[in-house]
Structure 1
Amino acid sequence: MNFRIPRGTQDILPEQSGKWQYIEQKIHDICRRYNYREIRTPMFEQTELFARGVGDTTDIVQKEMYTFTDRGGRSLTLRPECTASVVRSYVENKMHGWADQPVKLYYVGPMFRYERPQSGRMRQFVQFGVEVLGSDDPAIDAEVIALAMNFYQELGLKNLKLVLNSLGDKESRTKHREALVNHFEPRISEFCSDCQERLRKNPLRILDCKKDRDHELMASAPAILDYLSEESKNYFETVKEYLQAIGISFVVDPTLVRGLDYYNNTAFEIMIDGEGFGAITTLSGGGRYNGLTEEVGGPASPGIGFALSIERLLLALETQGAVLPTADSLDAYLIAVGEEPKKIAPKIVHDLRSAGLRVDTDYMNKKMKGQMKAADRQHAAFALILGEEEAASGTITLKSLATGEQTAVPIEALTTTVMEKLLEAKKGE
């Protein structure tokens, strides 16, 4: 029987994994600079957490979750996103009582959604996201957005566009909700069954419908910005002022609606302008979700965050021709020829690796020529040639594969010599 990978998943092979490792390293670095700390949550949770946290009117909950019943009869779901999981952990572990507030967290890990696979969208995908809980200061909104923008820019992405909107507070949303119902209700039969159901439950979600996005009522729908309370207006203006102060440009789009029910006030998406990326240009999105902690059984605690797909990031980098510095080369390759050299080769390789060098050797009993070719293929800086003669004299031939220069080096001085030679080569670049 031939087994094949499940649809919507992928194998990340060694020639690709270097890019992933570089991006993950960049994530850890930028979050360290912004003083965000990593959190790791389970890959499955109680189904009700996502129904309450994400919203039972969302496509994610209605159509896209991988849900199963365990042997104890409990309904569990592979996480389709991580904000609800982080907030659950925040409440369960009483992080709201920590001395240092707000609590600034980030995560990197696989999420699962049953949707139609397409370029940059998988059924198992990897998200990087941040969550800040405990502060309703507009400055933290600007910080979260700045972190996301800086992350993309430091990876070399160009033509980025930040799109902002405010979804308002409870008072604003109530007024806007009434206006949306009045706008869509007379012709709701012209919309899909999902939108008909959303009309009473959450009419704002109609604006996010992919099936009816071109319906004429979409363009003329009441804008949330016209219904903002004074408090929400002032909040939104302050967020914009902070962004302007740190030099981040943006456009305001009153039709921007995030796909999850928990958002309020600040909402944003980072898009990419330019050809070759397809019709869906959004790279990441996020916003404020005051009230979510109460939904999962905790005390009132304001929050804001964003999430982005590593797969879509890689697609964008490829589209723009950005090259990540992921040199996959060896410091040295040990070539052992003969019975005695093969006996002492493992100790030499071990000592070099213990010193922090990236080293490999032959395990296929190749001849000298085949081992030299292997050293070349793996872009080794040096070939370390150990024959019967070298083994008898306690030396090893150090050959630069860049210049062809050869030097006889005592085996006990090999580690120090290789490190010195590598340092010289680096200075000469």
Structure 2
Amino acid sequence: MQTIRGTKDILPDEINQWQQLYFEALELLTLHNYSEIRTPIIEPTELFIKGVGNDTDIINKEMYNFVDQGKRNITLRPEGTACIARACISNKLYVNNITQKLWYMGPMFRYERPQSGRQRQFHQLGIEHIGSEHPFTDVEIINLTHNLLQKLQCPAYTVEINSIGTQEERKKYKIALVNYLDKFKTELDLDSQRRLTTNPLRILDSKNIKTQLVLQNAPDINQYLGTASIKHFNTVCEYLNILDIPYTINNKLVRGLDYYSHTAFEIINDQLGTKNTICGGGRYSNLIKQLGGPNIPGVGCAIGIERLLMLIKNTSKRKENKNRFYLITQGYEADKKAWNLIKLLQQEKIKFNIDFNQDSFQKNIKKAIKNNALGCLIIGPDEIKNSTITIKWLEKNYQETISYNNIIKYLKQNINQSN
């Protein structure tokens, strides 16, 4: 049996990086008063049609849809923001406090061609600030993402930002963009030709070289922004300057989801090739209202975890687990005694490992070394008879015998010294 194409097992020797990322995010976001939220991986299909938009690639080509036994249309979530908005509405989170600062980490599902850094089941870490129209919140999301990437020692990346204005401003811009592109229709790639009538803004994101050449002289959206949109965007840039976060303004930057308005941003790294986006996000002023909730704005982003881990694999230092002790028992009575020792180790939160395969002493020592243990706790017939435990320190390459009653105190002292 093999995994389904586009899915991947995350094996024990890989999970350390996932855990490190999670705990770094937990620490940072808790400091900024963001609370973790976990939503179901299945949602009503209507949620994404209403929230993400009918003319997006996600809706038209990429969603995993099925009809369940109750004849309901169900979708494996392709992104997280619509789920967070739905959770705010269905749980009325806004009743006691209109401001909700939330984050999540989990799997998403899109039917795309599997490639490096993007599987059909992929994972995102998302940050959402709901309840404020102030540009401060746009910058807070960018700043949090920047701080997390710095903590994880992510190699050089670029923050690109743009304003895509209001829905009314985008309508005017779409007309101008289509009028321009119609003159070059035959020079556009097939996807872009189709998008001329469905979702013309997505053409700006095309990676096709010929299409990009055509776009060089296309009108920019900033020519169609009103005074309020320009002021909002200029304030975002001003705050980023105060924080010393380097950024570039990319007037061609759009996001692939219909709910975005005003600020849009991406964080990219050229080491990833054409699919070089680590993080994408922006403001969504009307999403919650579109889904049947009150008129509450929000702003957020999502980090692609697989892509990020590809970048930090060589820079993040694996934390060696040198506080783990390896228990070696010899004989039935020693096995029974080991359970009492395990209780004590659990109570004192001293990490340990034990293997009851009854391998030879030397084989167990080799396993302990492979497991990166600090030392071996050995219980055999002599130790049972004398109520002692033999400790073999692996790095120091010596052993000593300690009274069973003193073992925990002794271990804690030596752990502190080794740290």
**Do these two structures clear the TM 0.5 threshold for a shared fold by scoring above it?**
yes
TM-score, length of structure 1 as denominator length: 0.93
C-alpha change, 1:90 and 1:298, in structure 2 (3 Å) is same
- Determine the structure 1 residue equivalent to 2:201: 204
SS in 1 for 2:211: coil
Post-superposition offset of 1:39: 1.2
Post-superposition offset of 1:217: 2.6
Stretch moving more, 166-175 or 205-214:
205-214
CA contact (8 A) 2:155 2:311 kept: no
SS in 1 for 2:13: helix
Post-superposition offset of 1:5: 0.7
Post-superposition offset of 1:245: 0.8
CA contact (8 A) 1:155 1:324 kept: no
- Determine the structure 2 residue equivalent to 1:390: 383
Counterpart CA distance in 1 for 2:253 and 2:224 is: 15
What letter corresponds to residue 113 of structure 2 in structure 1?
R
Post-superposition offset of 1:317: 1.3
What letter corresponds to residue 157 of structure 1 in structure 2?
C
- Determine the structure 2 residue equivalent to 1:268: 265
What letter corresponds to residue 15 of structure 1 in structure 2?
D
Counterpart CA distance in 2 for 1:290 and 1:410 is: 67
The C-alpha deviation readout for 1:104-162, integer Å capped at 9, x for no partner, is 11111100000001100100011100111110000111100000011111001121211
Gaps (5+ residues) in structure 2? Answer: none
- Determine the structure 2 residue equivalent to 1:317: 312
The C-alpha deviation readout for 1:23-67, integer Å capped at 9, x for no partner, is 111121111011111111111111111111111111111000000
CA contact (8 A) 1:205 1:259 kept: yes
- Determine the structure 2 residue equivalent to 1:303: 298
CA contact (8 A) 2:130 2:298 kept: yes
| 2:26 pairs with one of 18, 22, 28 | 28
Gaps (5+ residues) in structure 1? Answer: none
Counterpart CA distance in 1 for 2:89 and 2:222 is: 32
SS in 1 for 2:94: helix
Instruction: Indicate yes or no: 2:73 matched with 1:75.
Output: yes
- Determine the structure 2 residue equivalent to 1:217: 214
Post-superposition offset of 1:300: 1.0
CA contact (8 A) 2:289 2:295 kept: yes
C-alpha change, 1:338 and 1:89, in structure 2 (3 Å) is closer
SS in 2 for 1:168: coil
Instruction: Indicate yes or no: 2:83 matched with 1:88.
Output: no
| 2:233 pairs with one of 226, 233, 236 | 236
CA contact (8 A) 2:323 2:415 kept: no
SS in 2 for 1:15: coil
- Determine the structure 2 residue equivalent to 1:289: 284
Stretch moving more, 177-186 or 40-49:
177-186
CA contact (8 A) 1:334 1:349 kept: no
- Determine the structure 2 residue equivalent to 1:7: 5
Stretch moving more, 392-401 or 251-260:
392-401
| 1:107 pairs with one of 104, 107, 111 | 104
Counterpart CA distance in 2 for 1:410 and 1:213 is: 78
**How high is the sequence identity, in percent, across the aligned residues?**
40
Counterpart CA distance in 2 for 1:121 and 1:282 is: 11
What letter corresponds to residue 64 of structure 1 in structure 2?
E
Instruction: Indicate yes or no: 2:336 matched with 1:338.
Output: no
Counterpart CA distance in 2 for 1:210 and 1:21 is: 33
- Determine the structure 2 residue equivalent to 1:349: 342
SS in 2 for 1:147: helix
Post-superposition offset of 1:330: 5.1
What letter corresponds to residue 20 of structure 2 in structure 1?
Y
| 1:38 pairs with one of 36, 39, 58 | 36
Counterpart CA distance in 1 for 2:324 and 2:302 is: 37
- Determine the structure 2 residue equivalent to 1:249: 246
Listed as ranges, the matches of 1:33-72 within 5 Å are: 33-72=31-70
SS in 1 for 2:195: helix
SS in 2 for 1:8: coil
C-alpha change, 1:361 and 1:312, in structure 2 (3 Å) is same
Post-superposition offset of 1:199: 2.9
Counterpart CA distance in 1 for 2:322 and 2:8 is: 25
Post-superposition offset of 1:200: 4.1
C-alpha change, 1:56 and 1:300, in structure 2 (3 Å) is same
Instruction: Indicate yes or no: 2:110 matched with 1:118.
Output: no
- Determine the structure 1 residue equivalent to 2:403: 410
| 1:132 pairs with one of 129, 132, 135 | 129
CA contact (8 A) 2:374 2:395 kept: yes
- Determine the structure 1 residue equivalent to 2:415: 422
What letter corresponds to residue 73 of structure 1 in structure 2?
K
CA contact (8 A) 2:155 2:312 kept: no
| 1:364 pairs with one of 347, 353, 357 | 357
CA contact (8 A) 1:330 1:360 kept: no
Post-superposition offset of 1:302: 0.9
Post-superposition offset of 1:76: 0.8
The C-alpha deviation readout for 1:308-327, integer Å capped at 9, x for no partner, is 11100111113xx2133332
The C-alpha deviation readout for 1:234-272, integer Å capped at 9, x for no partner, is 100000111111111111010111111111110000112
- Determine the structure 2 residue equivalent to 1:149: 146
Instruction: Indicate yes or no: 2:400 matched with 1:400.
Output: no
CA contact (8 A) 1:113 1:123 kept: yes
Instruction: Indicate yes or no: 2:278 matched with 1:280.
Output: no
CA RMSD of aligned residues (A): 1.7
Stretch moving more, 38-47 or 232-241:
38-47
